[in-house]
Amino acid sequence: MPTENKTSFEKFERVIPLVSHIAQVIIMLLTAGGLYFTVIPLYQKAAVDEQVAKQQLRLEQLQRTVATNYKKMRAEAIRQYVFLAGVDCTGLMTPIPPLGVRSTGADLNDKILAINVSDCMHADLTTATLLTALTPEDREALSVSVNNIAADIDIARLAAKVRNSAAKPPFNAAGPLDLGLGEFAEMQLAVIKKFGATDNQVRAAREQMSVNTQRNKMTVQYTTFARSEIGKLNQLVWPKNTD
């Protein structure tokens, strides 16, 4: 019996280290598996998140740069359009008859006041090349503003046209200075009289000069107003998603 117990104990002693080694191997495998299935994926995810964050930051920087450049381009496009419409639609490019040459058609005031500002400004929208780069939202906002501004200018134009056609010399005017013509007109009248014009002819010339002066002033007031209104496009409030 003692021999059998001893043999069993010896076998048990030999088995314990083996079991211990097997347990250590299992623990090592479980640890490695834990690292592989938990720690490594977490590290990889953190690395990916870091790269995504860097790319997102880079994207935001690029978006800000693009937005800044777009705003600069848009401002330049509007500036060019304002200049173009201000020249085309207010008569700045209307030819002036040479001095001493009698015009047979409509005079300069009539030509300027005959320009349909709404048609002119919309025509210039298609010829200003930079405007084609605007977003649809900005083009729509610009078109609406052009409609409103052109309508206001055309109302002023028609009113100036009526006043121009109704211009008359003031009554009881004693001479050119009383008519507001100035020294140059007085010199012209003196030249006319020197070349043999009658008093009635001089008076008619004086009255016509007075009418022309009034019409010129009214036209200048209108064109100044028109260019000022067109210039308001430089301060146009753009849609929030494009500003």
Q: What is the pLDDT of residues 183-200, one digit of tens each?
A: 666 676 677 767 777 767
More confident residue, 40 or 9: 40
Q: What share of the chain has pLDDT > 90, as a percent?
A: 38
CA 75, CA 33: separation in Å to the nearest integer?
62
Checking if the pLDDT of 59 tops 70, the result is yes
More confident residue, 166 or 75: 75
Checking if the pLDDT of 149 tops 80, the result is yes
**pTM for the structure as a whole:** 0.68
The mean pLDDT of the chain is 80
Domain membership of residue 48 (yes or no) is: no
Query: In terms of Cα–Cα distance, which of 105, 111, 221, 209 is closest to 167?
Result: 209
Domain membership of residue 36 (yes or no) is: no
Checking if the pLDDT of 103 tops 70, the result is no
Q: What's the rounded mean pLDDT across residues 26-41?
A: 72
Predicted pLDDT of residue 177: 43
Query: Of the ranges 65-79, 140-154, 177-191, 216-230, which one carries the lowest mean pLDDT score?
Result: 177-191
Domain membership of residue 137 (yes or no) is: yes
Q: Are 167 and 218 in contact (CB under 8 A)?
A: yes
Q: What's the rounded mean pLDDT across residues 132-149?
A: 94
Residue 3: pLDDT band by 50, 70, 90 thresholds? low
Instruction: Dig out the tokens for 206 from the structure.
Output: 């004086």
Domain membership of residue 43 (yes or no) is: no
Domain membership of residue 200 (yes or no) is: yes
Checking if the pLDDT of 167 tops 70, the result is yes
Render pLDDT for 198-235 as a digit per residue (tens, 0 to 9).
767 767 777 777 778 888 889 999 999 999 999 999 99
Query: In terms of Cα–Cα distance, which of 115, 122, 206 is closest to 161?
Result: 115
Predicted pLDDT of residue 1: 47
Checking if the pLDDT of 101 tops 60, the result is no
* One-letter identity of residue 135: T
Quick one: how far is CA 71 from the chain centroid?
8
Domain membership of residue 40 (yes or no) is: no
Structural domain count, the chain = 1
Length of the chain: 243
Predicted pLDDT of residue 153: 97
Domain membership of residue 214 (yes or no) is: yes
| Torsion (CA) 84, 90, 91, 92 in degrees, nearest 10 | -60
Domain membership of residue 203 (yes or no) is: yes
Predicted pLDDT of residue 94: 76
Q: What's the rounded mean pLDDT across residues 159-176?
A: 73
Q: Residue 191: give the domain boundaries.
A: 80-242
